[in-house]
Each structure stands twice: as structure tokens, then as C-alpha cells.
Amino acid sequence: MNSFFERRYIIAGIFIAIIVVLLARLFYIQIVDPKYAIYAGKNVLRQTIVYPARGPILDRNGKILVQNEPFYDIMITPREVKPFDTVEFCKLLGIDRDGFNKRWVKAWKYSPVLKSVFEKQLTAQTYASVSERLSEFPGFSAITRYLRNYPDSVAAQFLGYIGEVQDKDIKHSNGYYHPGDFIGVTGVEKSYETVLRGQRGVSNQMVDSRGTLKGKFANGLYDTAAVPGQRLTSSLELSIQKLGEKLMHDKVGSIVAIEPSTGEILCYVSSPTYDPNLMVGRERGNNAAKMYADVYNPFFIRPVQAKYPPGSSFKPLSALIGLEEGIITPQTSYYCPGYYQAGNRRVKCNNGEAHGLVNLSSAVAESCNGYFSMVFQKIIDHNGTHQTEASYKTWRDNVKKFGLGTRLDLDVPGESRGNVPTPLYYDNLYHKGGWRSSTIIPLAIGQGELLATPLQMANLECTIANHGYYYKPHLVKAIGTQNVIKHEYTVRNYVGIDSQYFEPVINGMQAVIDRGTGIRSKIPGIIMCGKTGTAQNPGGEAHSVFVAFAPRENPRIAIAVVVENSGEGAHWAAPIASFIVEKYLKGSISPRESGITVEHFANANRLPDSALYYSRFRKKISPKDTAKKQKADTLKKPLKGLKGASRQNKKDSSTRLLAVLPGRKDDK
């Protein structure tokens, strides 16, 4: 009997102990530890992404190039939608019933229980009327987003634009991007995406069984604030960027201006351009379609993607290589009868003009084709004709040191290499050992298969202005409040030419402006050193080219201007460049002795015939047609002309008119 009572007390004690433990645990769960309440709360948790403002982009003086404008997306969670007046709802959003049905099906397919975008990019004015009644439509909500706004509508190709993420963007983002998010597509918006986009935040809210908001989840403990994107300060000077776009209106071509002492790009004009505001908002797709259909292709980024024979602007480089190699001296003279005879080829000076006796400086000033053809042939033949390929390879390596035939690693995407043809290219064209200096003599005057972008041409002027080195060009000089740029943009890139050899070349370039072909573009009170030139164009009038730097002492700006289908460089490119240079250095443009005015050049229409332009720009040239144009000047058979086409560039069908075929003449 006693044993029975003892067991009863033991069992009762066990049950009491269990009850105490359970009560203690219940007390801990409900009173002490809040995480279980949080877990329970997640059953009625609604998360809303808080999108940050994208970082603004400024010019070098702090003027706004790009800023943000809020807009609103109407979101839908299909499973939460209750019966409602669809006619009234459609009227509120400004859509029809078919539009509503399409959006509904798309949202349901995406997810019945997850939010997705129902209607995009409502303006603040439209949203003001929608927000007052949105609570009448369960399952619908709104989020704030930001679109770009461009106060001055300039520098479209530099700034680029943003667009909705594609599947590949989502896949490669490690979960960062979701459908409906925005991402930089081109320009600085693309290359500095991670800096500009900021960091999204999350707002957690509690709702009851009817979907009514009941306040912050866990008192906002698990909310994260959105972090705005960082501000970018570009190297562009807004005043000359606007002037450049004004001067290039109704023209095809580009302007690139660089500060030689830093490599910072001051002006970056691609023409025709477009208003970047057209790539924002609900009409973006329609606007883009129209621009893609434009024969002059405003989306083509000509400063870094267009390729032209540099023409006479290449002559100073050729002279510098000759000086460094000891082939010529500043006093080396040549008697120009109006042409140069290179084997079976005769290279004429512009319009057959006879320059008489010229030395290095005067040959630069008068743009004597004969002098520079002589220099080139001496460079290639100085080790004998049996060493043509080796000598050419050395010459090519020297040219590439100036940044031609290679990318300069600009901090925006899409940069072209240009073209400095390889020995293998000529071996394939003429067979190995079947070509000589006379075969490739057009290279001497910046023609033939030699191609350069306007950026490369401007960079060449920086190298001459700096007497032998350049900084890699770049477009962004600061991120946030810090002057943070890549280390590679702070390193001097020496080209292997002794600084003493630059003065005679620069003397000639100054003479071009003081008394030569560029005299109409002389700037009062400023010594500008430049070179006019022509990029041959077999499909029409030649392209007008001008390169320069100023002032001569302590240069502050180097520039390259190309105006397609506009003839000699002195006629169009040089005056345009001179206005940009004067505006940058003096802040205003003074009356010119030559009488040229900004208004005349800004109002002039130099657009080539659209039908011809389209046929050259879009159509592929077949290898057979190319080969016919590139008949070889072999050792056995002379070639009557110098015209040919570079098969090396046949893949660039989209830029075909820019890869201009070689020609015989080069303007001064």
C-alpha cells in the first residue's frame, strides 16, 4: 500500500515538472523572445521594395547633365484582387478593357501570389488622382520609381540611357535584378551602373486577413533604407558641348576635345544626335524605333566607333617617326614638282600644286604629299627592299604607340580599334614578298587602309602638345565627393619620340594657322597649332578633317573635328574647331578677321543625300568587289591608281561608309 502511494507521488511529480517546463517555455516564447511572434507575423507580412534615386551626373563645373524625376508603377497581386468595377478602374489608368485583360493575364502567368507591374511610369500628376481611389481596388498598390531627366538635352551618346532589364541581365546579377528593374544600357549609364544604381531598400508591413495595413512589421526592425546612387562628375565642359552640338546640327560627324595635361575629355559630340529625354517615359519604345529607322543613325557613337583615314592629320606623326629613326632631320629638304614618284606610283599633291623646295616645317605647313611620301619610303627602305616587311613592322609598332590601331580604354563601351594594317594583311593581299614601300605608299599621307577614330585623332594631338606622351582619355573625373579615377588614367604613356623633335613639327602646325590652309580659322590672341586634312570618300565628297591644340605654350585643349561629305578640312572642320577652342579658352567668341561666324556654320546643312548614305552605310561590300578595287601594285604589274578597299574591315558592314577607300590626293 505504501509502495502504491510512493509511485503515485512520483508520477504526480513528473507531471507537475512537465507542466512547469511547458509553462516556463510558453512564458519565454510569448514574453521574453520576440522571434516567434515575428515568425507568426510573417504569415501576414507584405514586403515592398524601396527603389533608390539613381546617381546624378554633372559636368566638370558641377552643372547638372542628368537628374532624377519620380514616377509611379501600379503593382498587382492577382490572388488578392476582389471583384471591382473594371470600367472605372480602366478609366482611372487611361487604358481600355483589352489592355486590362492583357495585363491581367501577364501578371497571373508571372505569379498569382507575387507582386508584378500592372501599369508603368505614371507621372506625378496622373498618380495624384489614382492614389485617392487605389484603396477601392484590393490587390493593387503603387511603388515609387525614378526616371532620368536631362535639363539641357545634350551629350546623349556620352550619357547613354537606361532601360528595363533583360533576362540575361537578371541571370548574371546574382539575384539583384528582377523583372521591371532598370539598368544602364549604353554610355556612362552602363559602364558606371554599379555606382549609379544605389542600393534598394525593403519596407515590411503587417496586414490583416482582409489585406488591410496594420503598421510596421517588428516596428521596422527588419526594414532596410534605400541608398541613393553616387554622384558622377564628368570631365565634360557643358558650354562647349552645347556649342559643339549646335555647330554640328544638320551635319554628320563628330567633335572630340581633350585636356592634354590630364586626358580628360572636354567635348564629345556625335552628330546627328538626339534628345536623351526621348529615351525616357512611356513613349520611349516608339521614339527609339524612329531613331533606329533614321538613315543617319543617331545611336551610332561616332567619336569612338566611326573610322576614317586620318589624311593629312597623320603627317606630323610620320615626320616624328622619321626624326626619331634618324631618317631625316629638321633641315632635310625635298623639291616638290607637284607629285612624288614611288616606283610605278605617282602621288600627287593637292590639285597637283608644286611646292618647290620644302623642309620639315614648311612641308607640314603646306601639307606637301611628296615630302611625306619621301619620308615614308626612306623609313621602309632604309634596311633594303629585302627587309620591307621587317621595316614596316617597326613602323607599324611606332604608329601604334601613339594610340592608333588599338583601343584607348575609354571608360564607356563600344570603342573601336581603328586599323593599322598588319604585314600579314599585305602578305595575303599581294602574296609574301610581293609588296614594297611603293605598294603601300598611301599610308604615308594617312590614306590607304589606315583608319582612326576621332578620339584617336584628338589623342594624337595631345601627344604632340605634350611633346611625347599622353594620358589615356576618360570621361569621368570624380565619383561622389572624391576624385576617384582608374590608376591607368593617371599614367603617362610615352610614345618613344625624343621631345626635341616636336618643335620643328609644331612650328609647321602653327604656320598652318598663321599663314597656311587654316588661316581663316585663326583665333585673335591665341596661338593655335593645327592640321587640316581630308578623308577620302569614294561614294561622294570627301570628309573634312581638322586637328589642333592650343595655346602653343602650356596647351589646355586638343581637338579633332570630322564633318562628313564636306570637302577640305579648311572649309568646315577647321572653323568649327576654332570656335570650340576659343569658347573654352576665353569663354566667348570674338569677331574673326576672316568674317566667319558661329551662326553661319550652325545653320548650314551638310547632310549627305540620304539614299546614297543609306546604300553605303547599310550595304555590305562583297569580298569579290573589294578585291577588284584592291588590284595589287605588285613587283611585276604597275597600278594606275591608288584606289582600293580594305578587306580587313569587311566585317564592319555597319560602318562601311566610314572605312573610306584609299585615294590618291590629300588636301592640305
User: How far from 247 is each of 218, 500, 573, CA to CA, in Å?
Assistant: 60, 37, 10
Domain co-membership, 58 together with 185? yes
Domain co-membership, 215 together with 267? no
* Domain end residue (candidates: 188, 213, 233): 233
State the total domains in the chain.
2
Element spanning 162, H or E: strand 162-164
Phi then psi dihedrals of residue 47, to 5 deg:
-100, 135
How far, in Å, CA of 68 to CA of 442, rounded? 51
How far, in Å, CA of 182 to CA of 145, rounded? 10
pLDDT in tens, 169-203: 988 888 888 887 889 999 999 999 999 998 888 88
In percent, how much of the chain has pLDDT > 70?
87
Domain co-membership, 611 together with 498? yes
Candidate from 108-122, 135-149, 603-617 with smallest mean pLDDT: 603-617
Contacts (Cβ under 8 Å, ≥6 apart) of 496: 324, 398, 401, 468
**Angle between the N-to-C axes of helices 369-381 and 315-324, in degrees from 0 to 180, rounded to the nearest 10:** 40
Domain CATH for 100: 3.90.1310.10
DSSP, res 540: S
Domain co-membership, 306 together with 228? no
| Domain housing 351 | 239-655
Domain co-membership, 385 together with 476? yes
Q: Exposure of 555 by Cβ count < 10 A (0-12 exposed, 13-18 middle, 19+ buried)?
A: buried
Q: Contact 161/148 with Cβ under 8 angstroms?
A: yes
* Domain end residue (candidates: 233, 250, 270): 233
Element spanning 213, H or E: strand 213-216
Domain co-membership, 177 together with 320? no
Residue 187 corresponds to which cell in the numbers above? 554610355
How far, in Å, CA of 125 to CA of 373, rounded? 67
pLDDT in tens, 397-433: 999 999 999 999 999 989 999 999 999 999 999 989 8
For residue 221, the model assigns a pLDDT of 79
4 within domain boundaries: no
Domain co-membership, 386 together with 248? yes
Beta bridge partners of 46: 205
Domain co-membership, 470 together with 580? yes
Q: To which residue does cell 589624311 refer?
A: 311
pLDDT in tens, 332-348: 999 999 889 888 888 88
36 within domain boundaries: no
Domain co-membership, 150 together with 252? no
Confidence of residue 24 (pLDDT cuts 50, 70, 90): confident
Longest dimension (CA), the chain: 141
Tell me the pLDDT of the chain averaged across its residues: 85
Q: Contact 314/445 with Cβ under 8 angstroms?
A: yes
pLDDT over 70 (residue 642): no
Domain co-membership, 171 together with 282? no
1 within domain boundaries: no
Domain co-membership, 218 together with 127? yes
Q: Contact 496/504 with Cβ under 8 angstroms?
A: no
575 within domain boundaries: yes
Beta bridge partners of 142: 74
Q: Contact 531/316 with Cβ under 8 angstroms?
A: yes
pLDDT in tens, 513-547: 999 889 999 999 999 999 999 888 777 788 999 99
pLDDT in tens, 366-392: 999 999 999 999 999 999 888 999 999
pLDDT in tens, 226-271: 899 999 999 999 999 999 999 999 999 999 999 999 999 999 999 9
Contacts (Cβ under 8 Å, ≥6 apart) of 104: 76, 78
How far, in Å, CA of 34 to CA of 12, rounded? 33
Domain co-membership, 159 together with 301? no
665 within domain boundaries: no
261 within domain boundaries: yes
Element spanning 448, H or E: none
271 within domain boundaries: yes
For residue 211, the model assigns a pLDDT of 56
Mean pLDDT of 436-453: 93
Contacts (Cβ under 8 Å, ≥6 apart) of 420: 396, 399, 400, 404, 405, 450
Which among 71, 51, 180 has a CA at the least distance from the CA of 123?
71
Other C-beta atoms lying within 10 Å of the C-beta of residue 556? 15
Confidence of residue 9 (pLDDT cuts 50, 70, 90): confident
Domain CATH for 600: 3.40.710.10
Beta bridge partners of 470: 493
* Domain end residue (candidates: 233, 255, 279): 233
Q: Contact 382/530 with Cβ under 8 angstroms?
A: no
How far, in Å, CA of 91 to CA of 651, rounded? 52
How far, in Å, CA of 536 to CA of 105, rounded? 57
38 within domain boundaries: no
Amino acid found at 335: Y
